[in-house]
Amino acid sequence: MTLTLAIVLTVLTHVAFVGSRMTIALNGIRLGATPFTVGVLMSLYAFLPMLLAVYAGRLIDRIGPRKPMLYSSAGLVASVALPALWPSLAALHLAAMLIGTSFLFYHVALNNVIGQLGTPADRPVNFSWFALGFSISGFGGPLLAGFAIDGAGHRAAFIVLATFPALATLVLYGRRHVLPGPGGAHHAGGKRRLGDLLREPQLRSAFIASAVLATGWDLYTFVMPVYGSGIGLSASTIGIIMGTFAAATFTVRLAMPALSRRLKEWPMVIMAMSIAALSYALFPLAESVPPLMALSFLLGLGLGSAQPFIMSLLYAASPPGRQGEVIGVRTTMLNGSHTFLPLAMGALGAALGMGPVFWSMAAFLVSGAGYAWRRVK
């Protein structure tokens, strides 16, 4: 029942998170934002989470996930609705920071809950079902946002998206006794040093691979609205294309619970990076909807297949009582790249166009695959 509840809550909150990223990007473009400004907006989603993720992990290790999830879901409602109440670029910047911070606590807590379920052998399967929930919301969020923007405008889209975490807050409050409360996470005594985690070879390798894959994932949410708008696509068409990416992650993750019992982690990571690199390299050659949908689907297959294996590797290598902290460290690393990468890619796109942005990401993923291959050997 807890796994089912976690998946339902994931879908409801992540719809608002991923839908808001597209809506904020397109609303910013409508208000005159340059590609660099859109990059700043996307970076703000990750700025405060980069600073707070380790604290969030330690807090959840200490008090359990129940209260952080409840408060952060309520914060997600308010922050997604903010641009509807205050339509301006300043509001978009503030909302991006608040949405990212609220979702950080929710995401770390949910990962902690999934990791505690069942036996170590069950973790790849549980994380596969958990990732499937992200695929459902990843498909529905952009699609919902695109049609809401085209049908009723940007302000209405924000209100529609805010209703989903509002429903999650009600569900969570009604079922709060199912989740671990204070003391629900194991606690290990002694002083906690981040360096101890980073010196663990298995953890360090998983952290690096996770950062490379997640960078490829998050860059897509930044470049596709900018690239699609630049070639004249409507908001709903961009939403459909981005929904195709999520549909691919759903498709591959639907098979993961069965395949995860037969597949090895690191070969899957190498394959995922290679497929993603090929997709990014071909994106600048596509300027119509069918090839963009095909490449988005291919990218989703690659990136969507790796996440359950990465999370299983991280949780298995975590010291007792520090699982939430490990998730927090991972989130800090990811958000560090997510903060600065959109700024760099936004500046690169403004100066040279979007082609070099895609090709730079492809080269980065190829380097990550080479690192993972050396890890296997």
Q: What is the pLDDT of residues 209-227, one digit of tens each?
A: 888 888 888 788 778 888 8
Query: Quick one: pLDDT band at residue 192, thresholds 50, 70, 90?
Result: low
Asked, for residue 187, whether it belongs to a domain, the answer is no
The whole-angstrom separation of Cα 10 and Cα 135 is: 10
* Cα(105)–Cα(108) distance, integer angstroms: 5
Radius of gyration of the chain (CA): 19
Q: What share of the chain is helix, strand, coil (3-state, %, to 5)?
A: 85, 0, 15
* DSSP code at position 319: P
How far apart, in whole angstroms, are the C-alpha atoms of residue 58 and residue 62? Answer: 6
The span from the CA of 324 to the CA of 311, in Å, is 12
Rounded Cα–Cα distance for residues 377 and 373 (Å): 6
Query: What's the residue count for the chain?
Result: 377
User: For residues 234 and 321, what is the distance between their CA atoms, to the nearest angstrom?
Assistant: 48
The beta strand positions in 177-267, using DSSP E, are none
Q: When comparing pLDDT for 189 and 244, which is higher? A: 244
Compute the average pLDDT of residues 116-126.
Answer: 72
Q: What is the pLDDT of residue 287?
A: 84
Residue that has been written with the tokens 């839908």 in this structure: 19
- The domain in which residue 24 lies consists of 2-178+196-376
Cβ atoms of 87 and 155 closer than 8 Å: yes
pTM over 0.85? The answer is no
Residue-averaged pLDDT of the chain: 82
Indicate whether 86 belongs to any domain: yes
Reference 214, options 335, 95, 33, 76; nearest CA is 335
CATH number at residue 233: 1.20.1250.20
Q: Are 363 and 276 in contact (CB under 8 A)?
A: no
Largest CA distance in the chain: 58
Q: Residue 327 corresponds to which tokens in the numbers above?
A: 């998730």
Please report whether residue 172 resides in a domain: yes
Instruction: Please give the structure tokens belonging to residue 249.
Output: 């992650």
218's tokens: 């998050």
Residue 107 inside a domain? The answer is: yes
Q: Say how far apart CA 314 and CA 57 lie, in whole Å.
A: 14
- Lowest average pLDDT, out of 86-90, 94-98, 181-185, goes to 181-185
Q: Are residues 129 and 102 in contact, defined by beta-carbon separation less than 8 angstroms? A: no
* Rounded Cα–Cα distance for residues 219 and 337 (Å): 10
Could you give the 3-state DSSP secondary structure of residue 238? helix
Number of folded domains that form the chain = 1
| Mean pLDDT along residues 270-275 | 90
Does residue 185 sit within a domain? no
